């Protein structure tokens, strides 16, 4: 829906149901905000339709299978409604929207807990500032190549040139990489904790990365260690992200790594630490700051997409821990820390 009075009125109408409403400036920033918390209803306008909009609907359906998707279709472009439903939408309304119809249809699609109405321009859950910052970074990582694809697919663009097809292919790969990397993390703003072993998770991810040829594990597997309260899926994704980053940055591939789990003290607190030592990589403070501020980076030589450490860092902080690095003689140790016990 175009920015303006109609969009504000639609947001107020939805908020009147008791829902917390987030208004995103573009579709892929909306998709990126899935890192912030659960979503019950997504309302997307196909006004100014481009081919990427149906990709957005498909991406939302894949990442939020329990959410309802309502699309707003310009009255003069009604055939788009069928395409949107095929892409995964649940229902549609014609634009301009009748607010009573929107309210009635949204009420049928939503299951909202009783409570006072809420309206949020930024869509951030309480205590989710890191997730909100990451949502913006994710939007940038995903939307940049999508802008290129949209331009390449504009009407009148010649489609027979090999260079054009290669350019589209490269950008589509980057989009896929960004979405797959981000989708692995689930809701950063609300980790679902249960007793789990940090040692077992690290051993599992080391074995999986070694099977892919990304790393070569040195020494024995990490000891199991006592269980602690973790979101196992998030922590596994974070450890995978760290290993992928180290593998891509190390001098040799597979990167020689060793994993250990131990207890450490930080600021008077007892923490469980999963430490990954990699040979042949030295991370300066400047590069470390860049790594923990980056969701996705592209190798300029191969054009492959690789995860940065922003999401692993957010998982560690979301659990009340930290992600730290220290240089050793032959390389670098990256330590993922969470409260012990």
User: Is there a single domain that holds both residue 24 and residue 112?
Assistant: yes
Confidence of residue 310 (pLDDT cuts 50, 70, 90): confident
Instruction: Report the chain's mean pLDDT, rounded to a whole number.
Output: 78
Specify which residues 334 forms β-bridges with: 276, 325
Same domain as 321, residue 275 = yes
Q: In CATH, what number is assigned to the domain containing residue 256? A: 3.30.565.10
Within a domain: 145: yes
* Mean pLDDT confidence for 5-17: 87
Clarify whether residues 178 and 198 are in a common domain. Answer: no
Pairing of strands 296-298, 269-279: unpaired
Could you give the CA distance from residue 68 to residue 64 in angstroms, rounded to a whole number? 9
Smallest CA-to-CA distance from 295 within 171, 180, 170 is with 180
Residues 163 and 216 reside in one and the same domain: no
Q: What is the pLDDT of residue 113?
A: 38
Listed residues 158, 183, 208: the one ending a domain? 183
Question: What is d(CA 332, CA 279) in angstroms, rounded to the nearest whole number?
Answer: 7
Task: Find the domain containing 278 and state its range.
Answer: 194-339
Flag whether 221 is in a domain: yes
Instruction: Flag whether pLDDT at 54 surpasses 80.
Output: no
Residues 6+ apart with CB under 8 A from 146: 28, 52, 171, 175
Q: How many domains does the chain have?
A: 2
Each residue's pLDDT tens digit, 99-124: 999 999 988 887 543 333 333 333 33
Indicate whether 222 and 97 sit together in one domain. no
Are 171 and 318 within one domain? no
Q: Are residues 153 and 279 in the same domain?
A: no
In this predicted structure, the answer to whether residue 186 has a pLDDT above a threshold of 80 is no
Same domain, 198 and 281: yes
Q: According to the model, what pLDDT value does residue 126 have?
A: 34
Regarding beta strands 331-339 and 269-279, do their DSSP bridges make them parallel or antiparallel, or are they unpaired?
antiparallel
Residue 188 is assigned to a structural domain of this protein: no
Q: Is residue 223 part of a domain?
A: yes
Show the CA angle centred on residue 307, arms to residues 53 and 176, nearest 5°.
30
Residue 217 has pLDDT above 70, yes or no: yes
Same domain, 96 and 147: yes
Band the pLDDT of 136: cuts 50, 70, 90.
Answer: low
Residue in 267, 263, 234 with CA at minimum distance from that of residue 337: 263
Q: What are the pLDDT digits (tens) for 245-282?
A: 999 888 888 999 999 999 999 888 999 999 999 988 88
Q: Residue 333: is its pLDDT beyond 90?
A: yes
Contact 244, 310 (CB under 8 A): no
Q: How many residues does the chain have?
A: 341
Question: pLDDT digits over 160-172, tens only?
Answer: 566 666 666 666 6
- Of 145 and 292, the structure prediction assigns the larger pLDDT to 292
Segment 80-97 shows an average pLDDT of: 91
CATH code assigned at 14: 3.40.50.2300
Residues 174 and 203 in one domain: no
CA contacts within 13 A on the Cβ side of 338: 29
Domain-embedded: residue 189: no
Which of residues 238 and 34 earns the better pLDDT score? 238
Percent of the chain with pLDDT over 90: 27
Respond yes or no on whether the N-terminal peptide bond of residue 204 is cis (omega within 30° of 0): no
pLDDT at 114: 37
Domain final residue pick, 144, 160, 183: 183
pTM reported for the whole predicted model: 0.61
Region 194-203: what's the mean pLDDT? 93
Long-range contacts, stretch 290-299, CB < 8 angstroms, 24+ apart: 291/245, 292/323, 293/137, 294/137, 295/134, 295/137, 295/138, 295/140, 295/141, 295/178, 295/181, 295/182, 296/141, 296/174, 296/177, 296/178, 296/181, 298/174, 299/248
Are 71 and 163 in a shared domain? yes
pLDDT score for 286 = 86
Residues 266 and 143 in one domain: no
């Amino acid at each position: 829906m175009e920015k303006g009075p109609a969009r504000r009125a639609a947001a107020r109408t939805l908020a009147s149901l008791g829902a917390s409403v987030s208004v995103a400036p573009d579709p892929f920033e909306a998709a990126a905000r899935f890192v912030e918390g659960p979503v019950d209803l997504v309302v997307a306008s196909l006004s100014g339709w481009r081919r990427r909009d149906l990709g957005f609907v498909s991406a939302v359906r894949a990442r939020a299978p329990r959410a309802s998707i309502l699309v707003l279709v310009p009255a003069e472009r009604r055939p788009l409604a069928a395409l949107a439903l095929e892409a995964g939408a649940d229902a549609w309304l014609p634009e301009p929207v009748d607010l009573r119809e929107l309210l009635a249809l949204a009420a049928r699609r939503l299951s909202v807990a009783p409570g006072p109405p809420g309206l949020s321009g930024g869509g951030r859950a309480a205590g989710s500032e890191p997730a909100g910052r990451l949502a913006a970074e994710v939007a940038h990582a995903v939307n940049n190549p999508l802008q290129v694809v949209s331009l390449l697919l504009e009407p009148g663009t010649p489609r027979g040139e090999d260079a054009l097809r290669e350019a589209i292919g490269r950008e589509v790969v980057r989009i896929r990489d960004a979405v797959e990397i981000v989708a692995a993390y689930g809701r950063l703003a609300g980790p679902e904790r249960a007793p789990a072993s940090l040692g077992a998770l690290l051993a599992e991810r080391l074995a999986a990365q070694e099977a892919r040829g990304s790393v070569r594990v040195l020494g024995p597997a990490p000891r199991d260690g006592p269980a602690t309260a973790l979101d196992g899926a998030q922590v596994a994704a974070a450890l995978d992200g760290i290993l992928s980053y180290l593998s891509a940055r190390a001098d040799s591939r597979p990167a020689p790594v060793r994993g250990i789990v131990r207890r450490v003290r930080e600021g008077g607190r007892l923490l469980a630490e999963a430490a990954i030592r990699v040979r042949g990589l030295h991370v300066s403070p400047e590069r470390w700051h860049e790594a923990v501020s980056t969701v996705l980076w592209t190798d300029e030589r191969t054009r492959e997409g690789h995860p940065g450490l922003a999401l692993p860092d957010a998982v560690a902080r979301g659990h009340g821990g930290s992600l730290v690095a220290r240089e050793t003689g032959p390389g670098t140790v990256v330590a993922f820390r969470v409260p012990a016990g």
